[in-house]
Amino acid sequence: MTGGSSGIGLAIARALAEDGYAVTASARRVDKLEAAVEALVGAGLEVEAAPANVTSEDEVKALVAGHRERHGRLDVLVNNAGIGIGGAIEEIETKRLDLQIDVNLRSYVIAMREALPMLRKAGAEHGKALVVNTASIAGKGGQGWLAVYSATKAGVIGLSQAAQMEVAQAGIQVTALCPAFVDTPMTEWVQGQVEPEKMIQPRDLAEAVRLLLRTSRHCLIPEIAFTRPGDPSPFGT
Protein backbone atom coordinates (compact mmCIF):
# COMPACT_ATOMS: atom_id res chain seq x y z
CA MET A 1 0.00 0.00 0.00
CA THR A 2 1.62 3.27 -1.14
CA GLY A 3 0.28 6.68 -0.20
CA GLY A 4 -1.05 5.14 2.99
CA SER A 5 -0.62 7.91 5.55
CA SER A 6 -3.80 9.91 4.86
CA GLY A 7 -6.86 10.27 2.67
CA ILE A 8 -7.72 7.45 0.30
CA GLY A 9 -4.73 5.28 1.19
CA LEU A 10 -5.35 5.46 4.92
CA ALA A 11 -9.04 4.65 4.46
CA ILE A 12 -8.18 1.60 2.34
CA ALA A 13 -5.52 0.49 4.83
CA ARG A 14 -8.04 0.68 7.66
CA ALA A 15 -10.68 -1.25 5.70
CA LEU A 16 -8.25 -4.01 4.72
CA ALA A 17 -6.95 -4.35 8.26
CA GLU A 18 -10.48 -4.43 9.65
CA ASP A 19 -11.20 -7.28 7.26
CA GLY A 20 -8.27 -9.30 8.56
CA TYR A 21 -5.45 -8.44 6.18
CA ALA A 22 -1.95 -7.78 7.48
CA VAL A 23 -1.24 -4.39 5.93
CA THR A 24 2.08 -2.79 5.03
CA ALA A 25 1.39 0.95 4.72
CA SER A 26 3.93 3.21 3.07
CA ALA A 27 4.36 6.93 2.55
CA ARG A 28 7.20 9.40 2.16
CA ARG A 29 6.77 11.43 5.35
CA VAL A 30 7.91 9.24 8.23
CA ASP A 31 6.27 11.23 11.05
CA LYS A 32 2.88 11.40 9.35
CA LEU A 33 2.94 7.72 8.39
CA GLU A 34 3.95 6.54 11.85
CA ALA A 35 1.24 8.63 13.50
CA ALA A 36 -1.40 7.20 11.15
CA VAL A 37 -0.23 3.62 11.66
CA GLU A 38 0.01 4.08 15.42
CA ALA A 39 -3.67 5.05 15.48
CA LEU A 40 -4.61 1.94 13.49
CA VAL A 41 -2.50 -0.33 15.69
CA GLY A 42 -4.09 1.29 18.72
CA ALA A 43 -7.45 0.21 17.35
CA GLY A 44 -6.24 -3.37 17.37
CA LEU A 45 -5.41 -3.61 13.66
CA GLU A 46 -2.38 -5.31 12.10
CA VAL A 47 -0.64 -2.56 10.16
CA GLU A 48 3.09 -2.04 9.65
CA ALA A 49 4.64 1.33 8.75
CA ALA A 50 7.21 1.13 5.95
CA PRO A 51 8.36 4.61 4.89
CA ALA A 52 9.47 4.91 1.26
CA ASN A 53 9.93 7.56 -1.38
CA VAL A 54 8.31 6.00 -4.42
CA THR A 55 10.42 8.09 -6.81
CA SER A 56 13.28 5.75 -5.82
CA GLU A 57 13.26 2.36 -7.53
CA ASP A 58 15.42 0.92 -4.75
CA GLU A 59 12.99 2.07 -2.06
CA VAL A 60 9.98 0.60 -3.88
CA LYS A 61 11.85 -2.69 -4.29
CA ALA A 62 12.76 -2.66 -0.61
CA LEU A 63 9.15 -1.93 0.33
CA VAL A 64 7.89 -5.04 -1.49
CA ALA A 65 10.80 -7.14 -0.23
CA GLY A 66 10.11 -6.05 3.34
CA HIS A 67 6.49 -7.14 3.10
CA ARG A 68 7.61 -10.49 1.67
CA GLU A 69 10.04 -11.02 4.55
CA ARG A 70 7.43 -10.17 7.19
CA HIS A 71 4.44 -12.01 5.77
CA GLY A 72 5.63 -14.31 2.98
CA ARG A 73 2.61 -13.55 0.80
CA LEU A 74 0.67 -10.76 -0.87
CA ASP A 75 -3.01 -10.95 -1.78
CA VAL A 76 -3.69 -7.27 -2.48
CA LEU A 77 -1.43 -4.57 -3.91
CA VAL A 78 -2.69 -0.99 -3.66
CA ASN A 79 -0.81 1.64 -5.66
CA ASN A 80 -2.13 4.92 -4.30
CA ALA A 81 0.77 7.38 -4.13
CA GLY A 82 -0.06 10.49 -6.12
CA ILE A 83 0.79 14.12 -6.66
CA GLY A 84 -0.90 16.81 -8.74
CA ILE A 85 0.75 20.11 -9.64
CA GLY A 86 -1.46 22.55 -11.47
CA GLY A 87 -0.42 25.10 -14.06
CA ALA A 88 -0.52 25.99 -17.73
CA ILE A 89 1.42 23.74 -20.10
CA GLU A 90 3.74 26.54 -21.21
CA GLU A 91 4.71 27.11 -17.58
CA ILE A 92 5.47 23.50 -16.60
CA GLU A 93 8.86 23.06 -14.96
CA THR A 94 10.67 19.91 -16.03
CA LYS A 95 11.39 18.85 -12.44
CA ARG A 96 7.67 19.04 -11.64
CA LEU A 97 6.86 17.16 -14.82
CA ASP A 98 9.28 14.40 -13.89
CA LEU A 99 8.04 14.26 -10.29
CA GLN A 100 4.44 13.65 -11.33
CA ILE A 101 5.42 10.97 -13.83
CA ASP A 102 7.67 9.26 -11.28
CA VAL A 103 5.12 9.26 -8.45
CA ASN A 104 1.88 8.77 -10.37
CA LEU A 105 2.94 6.25 -13.00
CA ARG A 106 6.53 4.97 -12.85
CA SER A 107 6.20 3.87 -9.21
CA TYR A 108 3.08 1.86 -10.08
CA VAL A 109 4.93 -0.05 -12.79
CA ILE A 110 7.86 -0.83 -10.49
CA ALA A 111 5.62 -1.90 -7.59
CA MET A 112 3.61 -4.19 -9.84
CA ARG A 113 6.75 -5.69 -11.35
CA GLU A 114 8.18 -6.45 -7.93
CA ALA A 115 4.91 -7.70 -6.42
CA LEU A 116 3.72 -9.93 -9.25
CA PRO A 117 5.58 -13.08 -8.13
CA MET A 118 3.75 -13.00 -4.78
CA LEU A 119 0.46 -12.08 -6.43
CA ARG A 120 0.80 -14.99 -8.84
CA LYS A 121 1.26 -17.39 -5.92
CA ALA A 122 -1.83 -15.98 -4.21
CA GLY A 123 -3.78 -16.15 -7.46
CA ALA A 124 -2.80 -19.79 -7.95
CA GLU A 125 -3.91 -20.53 -4.40
CA HIS A 126 -7.34 -18.91 -4.34
CA GLY A 127 -7.95 -17.33 -7.74
CA LYS A 128 -8.55 -13.78 -6.56
CA ALA A 129 -5.37 -11.79 -5.99
CA LEU A 130 -6.01 -8.09 -6.58
CA VAL A 131 -4.15 -5.01 -7.81
CA VAL A 132 -5.84 -1.67 -7.16
CA ASN A 133 -4.37 1.36 -8.94
CA THR A 134 -5.63 4.80 -7.97
CA ALA A 135 -6.18 6.78 -11.15
CA SER A 136 -8.55 9.76 -11.44
CA ILE A 137 -11.53 11.00 -13.35
CA ALA A 138 -8.93 13.30 -14.95
CA GLY A 139 -7.55 10.18 -16.58
CA LYS A 140 -10.88 9.63 -18.31
CA GLY A 141 -11.04 13.16 -19.70
CA GLY A 142 -8.08 15.55 -19.54
CA GLN A 143 -8.42 18.59 -17.30
CA GLY A 144 -7.02 21.99 -18.25
CA TRP A 145 -4.23 23.27 -16.00
CA LEU A 146 -3.74 19.67 -14.85
CA ALA A 147 -2.29 18.38 -18.11
CA VAL A 148 0.55 16.31 -16.69
CA TYR A 149 -1.58 14.94 -13.87
CA SER A 150 -4.30 14.01 -16.39
CA ALA A 151 -1.75 12.31 -18.62
CA THR A 152 -0.27 10.26 -15.79
CA LYS A 153 -3.69 9.15 -14.61
CA ALA A 154 -4.68 8.17 -18.14
CA GLY A 155 -1.45 6.19 -18.11
CA VAL A 156 -2.51 4.42 -14.91
CA ILE A 157 -5.76 3.37 -16.57
CA GLY A 158 -3.89 2.09 -19.62
CA LEU A 159 -1.37 0.31 -17.42
CA SER A 160 -4.16 -1.39 -15.51
CA GLN A 161 -5.87 -2.53 -18.70
CA ALA A 162 -2.63 -3.89 -20.18
CA ALA A 163 -1.64 -5.63 -16.95
CA GLN A 164 -5.02 -7.35 -16.77
CA MET A 165 -4.43 -8.85 -20.20
CA GLU A 166 -1.15 -10.31 -18.97
CA VAL A 167 -2.40 -11.76 -15.68
CA ALA A 168 -5.96 -12.80 -16.55
CA GLN A 169 -5.07 -16.49 -16.47
CA ALA A 170 -3.09 -16.19 -13.23
CA GLY A 171 -5.98 -15.55 -10.86
CA ILE A 172 -5.13 -11.84 -10.59
CA GLN A 173 -7.53 -8.97 -11.17
CA VAL A 174 -6.45 -5.38 -11.84
CA THR A 175 -8.79 -2.45 -11.21
CA ALA A 176 -8.29 1.30 -11.68
CA LEU A 177 -10.14 3.61 -9.32
CA CYS A 178 -11.13 6.86 -11.06
CA PRO A 179 -12.49 9.36 -8.54
CA ALA A 180 -13.48 12.98 -9.01
CA PHE A 181 -12.65 15.34 -6.12
CA VAL A 182 -12.17 13.40 -2.89
CA ASP A 183 -12.03 15.09 0.51
CA THR A 184 -8.28 14.71 1.10
CA PRO A 185 -5.35 17.10 1.67
CA MET A 186 -4.64 16.90 -2.07
CA THR A 187 -7.91 18.70 -2.87
CA GLU A 188 -7.60 21.54 -0.36
CA TRP A 189 -7.12 23.96 -3.25
CA VAL A 190 -10.66 23.32 -4.52
CA GLN A 191 -12.42 23.46 -1.17
CA GLY A 192 -13.42 27.07 -1.76
CA GLN A 193 -15.55 25.83 -4.67
CA VAL A 194 -16.81 22.55 -3.20
CA GLU A 195 -17.40 22.05 0.51
CA PRO A 196 -15.36 19.09 1.85
CA GLU A 197 -18.43 17.32 3.23
CA LYS A 198 -19.98 17.46 -0.25
CA MET A 199 -16.99 15.78 -1.89
CA ILE A 200 -16.51 12.06 -2.42
CA GLN A 201 -15.20 10.62 0.83
CA PRO A 202 -12.09 8.43 1.22
CA ARG A 203 -14.25 5.72 2.79
CA ASP A 204 -16.22 5.53 -0.48
CA LEU A 205 -13.12 4.24 -2.25
CA ALA A 206 -12.32 1.93 0.66
CA GLU A 207 -15.76 0.37 0.34
CA ALA A 208 -15.14 -0.08 -3.39
CA VAL A 209 -12.01 -2.09 -2.59
CA ARG A 210 -14.09 -4.23 -0.26
CA LEU A 211 -16.52 -4.82 -3.13
CA LEU A 212 -13.67 -5.88 -5.42
CA LEU A 213 -12.51 -8.44 -2.88
CA ARG A 214 -15.98 -9.83 -2.26
CA THR A 215 -17.03 -10.46 -5.84
CA SER A 216 -16.30 -13.88 -7.32
CA ARG A 217 -13.16 -14.71 -9.23
CA HIS A 218 -15.32 -14.82 -12.35
CA CYS A 219 -16.37 -11.16 -11.97
CA LEU A 220 -13.81 -8.65 -13.23
CA ILE A 221 -14.38 -4.92 -12.61
CA PRO A 222 -11.72 -3.18 -14.74
CA GLU A 223 -12.35 0.30 -13.38
CA ILE A 224 -14.69 2.25 -11.13
CA ALA A 225 -15.53 5.90 -11.77
CA PHE A 226 -16.65 8.00 -8.79
CA THR A 227 -18.52 11.26 -9.46
CA ARG A 228 -20.72 13.56 -7.46
CA PRO A 229 -24.44 13.63 -8.29
CA GLY A 230 -25.18 16.49 -10.65
CA ASP A 231 -21.58 17.04 -11.79
CA PRO A 232 -20.94 17.16 -15.55
CA SER A 233 -20.06 13.78 -17.03
CA PRO A 234 -16.34 13.28 -17.67
CA PHE A 235 -17.16 10.94 -20.54
CA GLY A 236 -18.52 13.54 -22.95
CA THR A 237 -22.10 12.26 -22.90
Catalytic residues: 149
CB half-sphere exposure, 122, CA atoms < 13 A: 20
- Strand locations in 35-180, DSSP E? 47-49, 76-79, 129-134, 172-179
Q: Give the contacts of 221 (CB within 8 A, at least 6 positions apart).
A: 173, 175, 211, 212, 215
CA angle 148, 9, 141 (to 5 degrees): 30
Q: Determine the Cα–Cα distance for residues 71 and 91; give it in Å rounded to an integer.
A: 46
Cα separation, 198 vs 233, whole angstroms: 17
| Cβ(117)–Cβ(100) below 8 Å | no
